Amino acid sequence: MSDPATLAGTGRRARTRRWMASWRNRDTRAAYLFILPWLVGFALLTAGPMIASFVLSFTNYDGIGPTKNVGFDNYRQLFDDPSVATSMMNTLVFTALRVPLSMALALALAMLLLRVTRGSGFFRTVFYLPVMTPSVAVGILFLLLFNGNVGVINRALEFVGITGPSWTTDGSWVKPGLVLTTLWALGGTVVIYLAALKNVPQELYEASELDGAGRWTSFVNVTLPQISGALFFTLIVNTIASLQTFTEAYTAFYGTANTQTYSSDAALFYVVYLFQQAFQFMHMGYASALSWLLFLVILVITLVQARLSKRFVYYEGEAR
Amino acid sequence: MSRTVAERDTVAASRRTSGPIARTLRLLALLGATVIFVYPFFWLISASLKPSESVFDNSLLPSDWQFENYREIWTAVPLGTWVLNSVTVTLAAAVAVTISSALVAFGFAYFRFPGRNLLFGLVIATMMLPAVVLMVPQYLVWNSLHLASSQVPLWAPNLFGSAFYIFLLRQFFLGLPRELFDAARIDGANYWTMFYRIAVPLCRPALVVTFVFEVQAAWTDLIRPLIYLRDPDLFTVPRGLKAVLDQFGEGGELRWEIVCAASVVVTVPMIVVFLICQRQFTSGIATTGRKG
Amino acid sequence: MAAPPRRRFRRSASLAAASTGLLTLAACGGISFADDSDTFVTMGFGAGDALGTVRLERATEAVAPLDVQVNEGQFDEQQFLSAVAADDPPSVVRMDRALIGGYAARGALMPLTECVDQQGIDLDEYRPGAIDEATLDGTLYGLPDSYDNRVLLVNREVVAEATGSDTVDTSDWAGLMDFAESLQTRDGARLTRIGFDPKIPEFFPLWVEANGGQLISEDGRTARLDSPEVVEALEYAVSLIDAQGGWGRFKALRDSFDQFGANNQIARDQVGAYPMEDWYVNVLAGTSPDVDLGTQPFLDREGEPINYVSGLSWAIPKGSPHIDEACQFIATMTSAESWVEAARAKAEEVRATGAPYTGDYTGNREADRIIENEIWEPTGNDAFDEATRQLYAVQDDSFSVPANAAGTEFRKAWQSAVNRVLSGDQEPEEALRQAQDLAQTALDIANQGEE
């Protein structure tokens, strides 16, 4: 599988020559034809727009009035605008609550499922169904089930003698409520863990038991390291998804002038605010700056997670 | 492969022989979770069949079955048009992304060509690029093409492949034995034939996974329809559901049973798709977890 | 099976090209050109009852032979602005007057100066407040399509039972607090009746006015959100809610009202008294004509009646494909003749159902006069007859939030400040100071852009 090109000479001139020569190769031309759709898409819908948005982030472009250069004003405004800090904080808190909870719960469910011999298909189906539910409907369900006065959640809590909070209106309970709502859709993570758990070689458990390890010790010493790849993957994916939370919060709180009238900033997630600035107020220049900030934040978080994974993740049969 | 799994299962089974109490507890826990996961669906369906004043009575079954709610939502809003729009957009998006991603993935898997590693690195990089970061920039593109008030931006980006599926499919193509292609080549097959006659049929399960994943993603998307669709006759169902919520929900007529009925209409097709393609979904998800 | 090399190559090439080429194809199909030159699109308007349908018929005739397409649903800011930016705006738009200044400043709306001249529209026919609210720096951008008055609705039975009197004095803030506290009822921790609902955030301007303050200067250029009168008004209004179980329980109860049904909050005694828009009297007359409803003007702290008015206006977006017809359309929609004909039809419709007709308040003075004197007549239902009289009487005590160039952002600034206080995130003074900064920045940017 070794690429002959990388084995040959290393001089820059030689490389250029080889590059030129390779175009005479039919393989190369065919390969580029196959990947052409992606190349075009990358230029037109990723790289191009990103450059455009970078340029626009230094203007007051709004698609209606005249556009002018505003220098770093948009970036300065990121710091002056209290909604930026609020929405970023909301998003981080939501993510910090949701991601570990969903991973822990999903792992628990997967371990339960692993040991079920009959009917595991049924349970897996049940756990996955919420993933298929459109987020708009999830947002609506949140409003209805979590209504502080008449919602079924509080009625159930009342039944066991607990006075439930006002999930949809109380600033400090809105985010936990949304976390619980979105946890409903953790089926995807369960399936991933289940697959990973099935791949853990049984011998390792046996060896661990021979060493006199208990259930918990085996879990910590065998299970977790063995599925660390899957854990890391879901950590990254869930984090990125949580940081981009939009639909549920938007549906429940920011959809119309009427709902916006009553919305405090408790559910103002970053992407919701970005969306408002971009498409409700058409402040495209400022929205571009907001996009870039989000990009940086996600990049940093992902890099930190990747760095951590290098230390903790065990890759089975890691050859490279 | 299958033999080792069987072996492993017997070993596992022997280890899993835990007492009946533990087994019962486990089953109870799972059944409890099942109730939590399924209850919202029941609640929704039941509420959608109740009269307005008893939506919140939280009884499992409506005491007074109001099937008219569905007729009413069907006549109050162009629900039929929305469903049709969603079907069209979803199919266009899924077909486009499956074909284009497969082509690109094959390009990256089969050929060795200068710039391959760099370009594939870019694919991976765009995979990590959060979609919302591109929300504003892409709007600018469609706006400059005068397509910012149409359904085109909902599916056309899929013509260029999607990094995630390219990555997924490339893994599958890499798994095919190279000798197959070499043999075909000796027989005089061209690249297209190799792709179409060998790679595609052998990787059909992966292509189906790509297809059904995209069906789900396209069907449930709200943010792009919000940005690009203004004419109610072009709405997809999630966008329509949002309009129904505005009209009948909070700040509107406060007729939650109508909102619930519309939510059911939006959700049911996805449930059906899942029940049919269950295996593809779970194997696809599991694969991404392993490969990631 | 093997094709000659040349052809092979061409085939994979054509496939790749085809997949990109589809995009161009797609550009031709699958798009609605809603601006088909003979379709006249309206946004933010739904016909509803005869009051809408009759006027719509007349306006449709006025723009014939154009085909009128009514995109129902509330006005959606996001839809509107992106439509204008995408060069795909509706022909006319109906929106909250509070937003008009903001859109006008950004050039998203057309001035109506020419339209008024061309159609010979007599602006004196309209209520001056409604015209002022849609006028930015001396230029008119919208004609009023509604005029929402706010009066105090009193559940007389409940109030009399608790206080012995069937009126509520909103000028005495300490007394009002006692009133609210004594009328509320609870079931455990759950609130089951609101004693007095201040209706904030949406009616916050009413409390500011009652306290002798202003949210913004008359010329719409200087925000006054952190002035002592505004802060005090917010502190008081929030304390009213805190005294009745706090915002969470308060709002949860409000959300569960069957507002439009026979089991509405007044019929079920879920509220003692609260300021409310006039249209709700209309709703009550239809769903529960037998409630013991009292109506009185909202009194400021000096004891003077005040009527916070807002409403919708028609405007013509920049780039409207049918500017002349749009002008005819909005002139017809808001003319006295249209209103009178529509109100007559509606009155008949209402009376046919046996409910009392409670009058209509149009923003057109001439229309109001005719409707009050010729169409409305006492129904014998004292509660609703009195309500109608009150509503016509308070029209002269009206005030609105002055038009300003920040429009929706200005409104959002004070609304979210109120919400932050209600949800316990901030203290009134802090929240309003933050809102003041935000609002003034938005005002400055908006006013700068227009020069």
Which residue type is seen at C162? Answer: A
- Using DSSP bridges, classify how beta strands C150-155 and C185-187 pair: parallel, antiparallel or unpaired: unpaired
Per-residue pLDDT at A149 exceeds 80: no
> Subunits with at least 3 CB pairs below 8 A relative to chain C?
A, B
- Would you state the pLDDT for residue B251? 67
Instruction: Decide if C84 contacts C317 (C-beta within 8 A).
Output: yes
Which residue type is seen at B255? Answer: R
Note down the domain range covering A27: 4-56
Q: How far apart are CA A29 and CA C12, in angstroms?
A: 11
Per-residue pLDDT at C14 exceeds 70: no
- Would you state the pLDDT for residue A265? 82
A109 and A23 in one domain?
no
A88 and A12 in one domain?
no
Average pLDDT over residues C234-258: 89
Q: Which residues of A touch B86 (CB under 8 A)?
A: none
Could you tell me if B189 lies within 8 Å of chain C, comparing CB atoms? yes
- Would you state the pLDDT for residue C328? 94
Whether residue C425 and residue A148 make contact (CB cut-off 8 A), yes or no, is no
Q: Is residue A145 part of a domain?
A: yes
Selecting from A56, A145, A236 the residue whose C-beta is nearest the C-beta of B40 gives A145
pLDDT digits (tens, 9 = 90+) for B137-160: 899 899 888 888 899 999 999 999
Could you tell me if B89 lies within 8 Å of chain A, comparing CB atoms? no
Q: Is residue A64 part of a domain?
A: no
pLDDT digits (tens, 9 = 90+) for C98-149: 999 999 998 999 999 999 998 899 999 999 999 999 999 999 999 999 999 9
SS3 C412: helix
Per-residue pLDDT at C6 exceeds 80: no
SS3 A1: coil
The structure tokens listed for C446 are 């908006």
A152 and A268 in one domain?
yes
Q: Do domains C39-147+311-352 and C150-308+406-450 have the same CATH topology?
A: yes
Could you tell me if A165 lies within 8 Å of chain C, comparing CB atoms? yes
C434 or B5, which is more confident:
C434
Per-residue pLDDT at A82 exceeds 90: no
- Would you state the pLDDT for residue A28? 86
Per-residue pLDDT at C185 exceeds 50: yes
A142 and A39 in one domain?
no
A168 and A47 in one domain?
no
Mean pLDDT for all residues in chain C:
87
Which residue type is seen at B3? Answer: R
Whether residue C2 and residue B190 make contact (CB cut-off 8 A), yes or no, is yes
- Would you state the pLDDT for residue A166? 81
- Would you state the pLDDT for residue A319? 36
- DSSP, residue by residue, C108-155: -B--SHHHHHHHT--GGGB-HHHHHHTEETTEE--EES--B-EEEEEE
Domain ranges for chain C, please list them.
Answer: 39-147+311-352, 150-308+406-450
- Using DSSP bridges, classify how beta strands C39-43 and C92-96 pair: parallel, antiparallel or unpaired: parallel
- Would you state the pLDDT for residue A27? 82
Could you tell me if B157 lies within 8 Å of chain A, comparing CB atoms? yes
Q: Is residue A62 part of a domain?
A: no
State the greatest distance between any 2 C-alpha atoms of chain A, in Å, as a whole number: 79
Which residue type is seen at C107? Answer: G
Q: How far apart are CA B59 and CA B50, in angstroms?
A: 10
Cβ density class A154-171: b for 16+ within 10 Å, e for less: bbeeeeeeeebbbbbbbb
The structure tokens listed for C351 are 């009376």
Q: Is residue A85 part of a domain?
A: yes
Between residues 59 and 98 of chain A, which touch chain C (CB distance below 8 Å)? Answer: 60, 62-65, 80-83
pLDDT digits (tens, 9 = 90+) for C28-40: 333 444 445 789 9
Name the residue of chain B whose CA is nearest to C264's CA: B53
Could you tell me if A53 lies within 8 Å of chain B, comparing CB atoms? yes
Whether residue A149 and residue C76 make contact (CB cut-off 8 A), yes or no, is no
Smallest Cα distance from C433 to chain A, Å:
12
Q: How far apart are CA A118 and CA A124, in angstroms?
A: 12
Instruction: Decide if C86 contacts B231 (C-beta within 8 A).
Output: no
Q: Which of C343, C388, C339, C332 is nearest to C367 (CA)?
A: C339
Between residues 249 and 268 of chain A, which touch chain B (CB distance below 8 Å)? Answer: 250-251, 255-259, 261
Instruction: Decide if A62 contacts A284 (C-beta within 8 A).
Output: yes
- Would you state the pLDDT for residue C249? 83
Architecture (CATH level 2) of domain C39-147+311-352: 3-Layer(aba) Sandwich (3.40)
Q: How far apart are CA A102 and CA C442, in angstroms?
A: 40
Q: What percent of chain C has pLDDT over 70?
A: 91
- Would you state the pLDDT for residue C296? 93
A244 and A185 in one domain?
yes
pLDDT band, very low/low/confident/very high, at A246 (cuts 50, 70, 90): very high
Whether residue C32 and residue B254 make contact (CB cut-off 8 A), yes or no, is no
Average pLDDT over residues A90-110: 95
Q: Which residues of C touch A81 (CB under 8 A)?
A: 438
pLDDT digits (tens, 9 = 90+) for B77-119: 899 999 999 999 999 999 999 999 999 999 999 998 888 999 9
- Would you state the pLDDT for residue A314? 66
Q: What is the pTM of this model?
A: 0.87
Superfamily of domain C150-308+406-450: Periplasmic binding protein-like II (3.40.190.10)
A295 and A241 in one domain?
yes
DSSP tag of B194 = I
Whether residue C422 and residue A264 make contact (CB cut-off 8 A), yes or no, is yes
Name the residue of chain C whose CA is nearest to A275's CA: C78
C13 or C86, which is more confident:
C86
- Would you state the pLDDT for residue A306? 85
DSSP tag of C304 = -
Write the ipTM: 0.87
pLDDT band, very low/low/confident/very high, at B265 (cuts 50, 70, 90): very high
Whether residue B234 and residue C32 make contact (CB cut-off 8 A), yes or no, is yes
Q: How far apart are CA C291 and CA C307, in angstroms?
A: 24
Q: What percent of chain A has pLDDT over 90?
A: 43
**Rounded alpha-carbon distances, angstroms, from residue C384 to A272, C263, C424:** 44, 18, 39
Please name the residue ranges forming H helices in chain A: 4-7, 12-22, 26-41, 48-56, 73-80, 82-114, 120-132, 135-145, 152-159, 171-183, 187-198, 202-210, 215-218, 224-226, 228-243, 247-249, 257-262, 270-275, 284-312
pLDDT band, very low/low/confident/very high, at C396 (cuts 50, 70, 90): confident
The structure tokens listed for B95 are 């077909």
The structure tokens listed for B80 are 């039929």
Selecting from A3, A38, A201 the residue whose C-beta is nearest the C-beta of B104 gives A38
> Which residue has tokens 């397409």?
C69
Average pLDDT over residues C318-322: 92
Q: Which of C19, C90, C89, C160 is nearest to C329 (CA)?
A: C90
Q: Is residue A68 part of a domain?
A: no
A142 and A19 in one domain?
no
Could you tell me if A177 lies within 8 Å of chain B, comparing CB atoms? no
Q: Is residue A66 part of a domain?
A: no
- Would you state the pLDDT for residue B218? 94
Instruction: Decide if A194 contacts A113 (C-beta within 8 A).
Output: yes
pLDDT digits (tens, 9 = 90+) for B213-255: 999 999 999 999 999 998 889 999 999 999 898 888 876 777 8
- DSSP, residue by residue, B239-289: HHHHHHHHHHSTTTT--HHHHHHHHHHHHHHHHHHHHHSHHHHHHHHHHHH
Mean pLDDT for all residues in chain A:
86
A80 and A30 in one domain?
no
Q: Which of A157, C262, C267, A177 is nearest to B58 (CA)?
A: A157
- Would you state the pLDDT for residue C336? 93
Q: Is residue A319 part of a domain?
A: no
pLDDT digits (tens, 9 = 90+) for B178-196: 888 888 888 888 889 899 9
Name the residue of chain A whose CA is nearest to B216's CA: A132
The radius of gyration of chain C's CA atoms, rounded to the nearest angstrom, is 26
Select the highest-mean-pLDDT range: B282-286, C11-15, C283-287.
Answer: C283-287
**Rounded alpha-carbon distances, angstroms, from residue A182 to A263, B96, C279:** 19, 30, 38
Q: How far apart are CA B184 and CA C307, in angstroms?
A: 85
**Exposed, middle or buried by CB within 10 Å (0-12, 13-18, 19+), for C228?**
exposed
Q: How far apart are CA C31 and CA C35, in angstroms?
A: 11
Whether residue C106 and residue A64 make contact (CB cut-off 8 A), yes or no, is yes
Q: Within its chain, how far is the Cα of C371 from the centroid?
A: 22
SS3 C224: coil
Whether residue B193 and residue C83 make contact (CB cut-off 8 A), yes or no, is no
Q: What is the 3-state secondary structure (H, E, C) of A70-103?
A: CCCHHHHHHHHCHHHHHHHHHHHHHHHHHHHHHH
Instruction: Report which secondary-structure segment, H or E, holds B41.
Output: helix B20-48
Q: Which of A269, A282, A290, A239 is nearest to A81 (CA)?
A: A290
Q: Which residues of C touch B243 (CB under 8 A)?
A: 73
Domain count, chain A: 2
Average pLDDT over residues B154-167: 93
Lowest mean pLDDT segment, chosen from A217-221, C202-206, C326-330: A217-221
Could you tell me if A251 lies within 8 Å of chain C, comparing CB atoms? no
**Rounded alpha-carbon distances, angstroms, from residue B273 to A28, A136, A159, B219, B279:** 40, 18, 37, 11, 11
- Return the CATH number at A228: 1.10.3720.10
Q: Which of B227, B225, B220, B223 is nearest to B139 (CA)?
A: B227
- Specify whether the backbone of A107 is left (phi greater than 0), alpha (psi in -120 to 50) or beta: alpha
DSSP tag of B134 = G
The structure tokens listed for C342 are 């529509």
A206 and A95 in one domain?
yes
pLDDT band, very low/low/confident/very high, at B163 (cuts 50, 70, 90): very high
Q: How far apart are CA C154 and CA B199, in angstroms?
A: 76
- Would you state the pLDDT for residue B48? 93
Q: Which domains does chain B possess?
A: 18-66 (no CATH), 78-291 (1.10.3720.10)
Per-residue pLDDT at A14 exceeds 90: no
A237 and A140 in one domain?
yes
Average pLDDT over residues C350-363: 89
Per-residue pLDDT at A8 exceeds 60: no
Beta bridge partners of C136: C139
A212 and A139 in one domain?
yes
Please name the residue ranges forming H helices in C353-427: 365-370, 382-393, 407-422
Whether residue B290 and residue A230 make contact (CB cut-off 8 A), yes or no, is yes
